Structure 1
């Protein structure tokens, strides 16, 4: 099959879903072409064709058996091009956060099948638009994301890892204030732990506790970041899937996460993570205290998470997408 994927860029967290699936589909023998504006950034290593265009207009979209637009501004050019059957890939239900909420909603109302990333994401789209979708979840590359020695073995201080996405860059739903407040409160009880942060947009937060910024620009560097930590924390209010949690699990790191919706398909409270309500600083603080002070709980959650992450491969995701496209080709 010839698959055309128009994107605005390939540099933020969610677009990793696109590059991973595109590479897997190319490896399976499909002709995959990524179409991107000429000045857009591509941060991920692609094994596909890449076509640079001045802008994503209907005329600039190449023909294909299927066109897979994702972020809402890519949907209308693909649809108007009439260059192939459109399948609307949703990496997140945009009306929840973009200023052009109604225009984003309209991108779901075209007569095209929709792909969502989790059951919660599927329900969100259904409630917002009345349209159902096919769930094709994200995955984890366990050849890259795997256990490594913890820093605490040499420092004798446990390490908490956190990905910082700043409000200044539009990430108003990531819950960073709650994370820092919980850490501040914990310091009164357990003073001897370290915080390491990957600041994706180069954010420099005036936190109430000391922390180290880690530069991790590749998957292997991120795997080291997860793997060296004893605890990985996610505080988002909502996510369509949340790949970092699976990646940290694959690195045998204990997880504390908010119930962000998209992680419910794989995050099981008390089994492979500790899950707390979004914005609940009290419960977040208690969960972190439990993992900092109870090694047996921390180790068991980390081991179960490692085992649970193994089947969630990108090849499995690509197989599901391939099956859907074959079904659409032969109704």
Structure 2
């Protein structure tokens, strides 16, 4: 069978990693798989399938680069403006959904939308095979493109696709709120325990200090400012060195805004093998998102033998159990997160219990199980 994944962009992101993991493994099982993308660069991942990029008109490419730059710089006026409104202010209209719809071929047995604009493109396309929607996005993510983005996201969950593939129970419930009789399979996400595993090879080794790793994302729901404030709070009581994964310029700017006494190292554009070594180098992993569709990093940390402190960010409820395989605090609770982090660093028995149970948890979440759900949707709906 032939399967097409339709993507919006292929920059480094957890959602894109999930797409590539599934695409590669479907290919290993004998499927012919292609990925169609509006833009981006997939060189950061070892993709085994064909990736084709839609060539947009020069004026539209220029617009998108300008829009991305303005969003990155967070110019106040455009902080939550969608690309269509941005184009209108410049005097012309942009439509990314229809060109992508027209580029979707009709010679695939199944086509999988992977982000809310691609869901609309798939629905408007001439594709006659199975129409599936792999849903990883949530309201806060769509809101980054303004009210326009949020309305489109809501609309896509009301479209009668052959089946929805929800990355978590949280996402499943969002779909059911809008379409109570939708066919939904919860795929979960996976972790490759051949890559993410305990290691004695410490990439960061700072003597006399506890090492705490966290991932710093620039999107508001990632809680980056919370992470820095937690680290600052902990550093008042314990000597710590922070392992920060994220854009260096953004991280440096964020840290300057908070009075702190911890040292830190920044790693940017990190491939999986390096990320795994960073997890293993840390004495604890801190995750501060307000909301996530699934929230894969804590699971990767568990697989790497690193105890986890995380927020209750909804998507991670499928695998995180407070006091069993992680310590959990409310989103934005700096004091609660800091106290949990101190407990993990100071209580050796607690650390050992969380590490042991975390390793057991990680083994239950494989990418092969995720692909099983995709196969169930593809084969079940094609019969």
TM normalised by structure 1 equals 0.92
Q: Give per-residue Cα distances to partners, 1:2-48, cap 9 Å, x unaligned.
A: 111111222222211101111111111111110113x4221322111
In the alignment, which of 57, 72, 75 is matched to residue 100 of structure 2?
Answer: 57
CA contact under 8 A between 2:102 and 2:126: conserved in structure 1?
Answer: no
CA contact under 8 A between 2:311 and 2:328: conserved in structure 1?
Answer: yes
Matched residue, 1:252:
305
CA contact under 8 A between 2:205 and 2:281: conserved in structure 1?
Answer: no
Is the counterpart of residue 182 in structure 1 residue 230 in structure 2?
yes
CA distance in 2, matches of 1:264, 1:58: 35
| Residue-pair matches, total | 324
Whose radius of gyration is greater, 1 or 2?
A: 2
Q: After the TM superposition, which of the residue ranges 143-152 and 256-265 deviates more from structure 2?
A: 143-152
Is the counterpart of residue 301 in structure 1 residue 354 in structure 2?
yes
CA distance in 2, matches of 1:97, 1:294: 40
| Superposed structure 1 runs of 4+ greater than 6 Å apart | none
Matched residue, 1:227:
280
Query: Secondary structure of 1:35's match?
Result: strand
Query: Secondary structure of 2:16's match?
Result: helix
CA distance in 2, matches of 1:128, 1:164: 32
Deviation of the 1:128 alpha carbon: 4.6
Q: Is the alpha carbon distance of 1:326 and 1:161 closer, same or farther for their aligned partners in structure 2, counting shifts above 3 Å?
A: same
Is the counterpart of residue 115 in structure 1 residue 115 in structure 2?
no
Deviation of the 1:155 alpha carbon: 2.1
Is the counterpart of residue 5 in structure 1 residue 53 in structure 2?
no
Is the counterpart of residue 80 in structure 1 residue 124 in structure 2?
yes
Matched residue, 1:47:
48
CA contact under 8 A between 2:309 and 2:327: conserved in structure 1?
Answer: yes
In the alignment, structure 1 segments of 5+ residues that lack a partner are: none
Q: Is the alpha carbon distance of 1:320 and 1:65 closer, same or farther for their aligned partners in structure 2, counting shifts above 3 Å?
A: same
In the alignment, structure 2 segments of 5+ residues that lack a partner are: 57-98
Q: Give per-residue Cα distances to partners, 1:226-245, cap 9 Å, x unaligned.
A: 11111111111111111111
TM normalised by structure 2 equals 0.80
Higher helix share: 2
CA distance in 1, matches of 2:245, 2:176: 34
CA contact under 8 A between 2:302 and 2:358: conserved in structure 1?
Answer: yes
Query: Secondary structure of 2:136's match?
Result: coil
Deviation of the 1:270 alpha carbon: 0.6
Matched residue, 1:328:
381
Q: Give per-residue Cα distances to partners, 1:76-116, cap 9 Å, x unaligned.
A: 22222232221111112246534121122112222202111
Matched residue, 1:195:
242
CA contact under 8 A between 2:130 and 2:381: conserved in structure 1?
Answer: no
CA contact under 8 A between 1:216 and 1:225: conserved in structure 2?
Answer: no
Matched residue, 1:206:
254
* Pairs within 5 Å for 1:13-162: 13-37=14-38, 39-42=39-42, 43-55=44-56, 56-63=99-106, 64-83=108-127, 84-94=129-139, 97-98=143-144, 99=146, 100-112=149-161, 113-128=163-178, 130=180, 132=182, 133-149=184-200, 151=202, 155-162=207-214
Aligned residues: CA RMSD: 1.9
Deviation of the 1:71 alpha carbon: 1.0
Q: Is the alpha carbon distance of 1:216 and 1:94 closer, same or farther for their aligned partners in structure 2, counting shifts above 3 Å?
A: same
